[in-house]
Amino acid sequence: MRKIPLKQVPSQKLRAVLAGQNCTISVYYRFGATYMDLYVGNNLIAQGAVCRNRASIIRAASPYFTGSLHFLDLRGDEEPDYHLFNDRFILLFVPAGEELPAGLRY
């Protein structure tokens, strides 16, 4: 499992190598919710995926991405809020084959 650091801003794009996969992650806040786009290389994996506490953000299997991404509320059961990224809400990558930590779900 790996924590992916985020800025406390409403819209951001970052690059990360996750289990050998060159990922571009866009996290943005709109209409009272947090969303994510994920690319691996030039392959779109998810666009406009709703980010919910503890639930897998990537819902459909892809031949280009393995593992799962999850937001986790460290202090309760609220949906992610960019104002509290890294303090209360963390973004986690769980590699394929690794057991999900307690409370996370696919």
pLDDT (average), residues 14-42 = 97
Q: What is the pLDDT of residues 51-74, one digit of tens each?
A: 999 999 998 889 999 999 999 999
**pLDDT given for residue 103 in this prediction:** 83
Percent of the chain at pLDDT exceeding 90:
91
Q: Residue ranges per domain, the chain?
A: 2-94
CA distance 85 to 44: 24
Count the alpha carbons within 13 Å of 7 in the hemisphere toward its beta carbon.
10
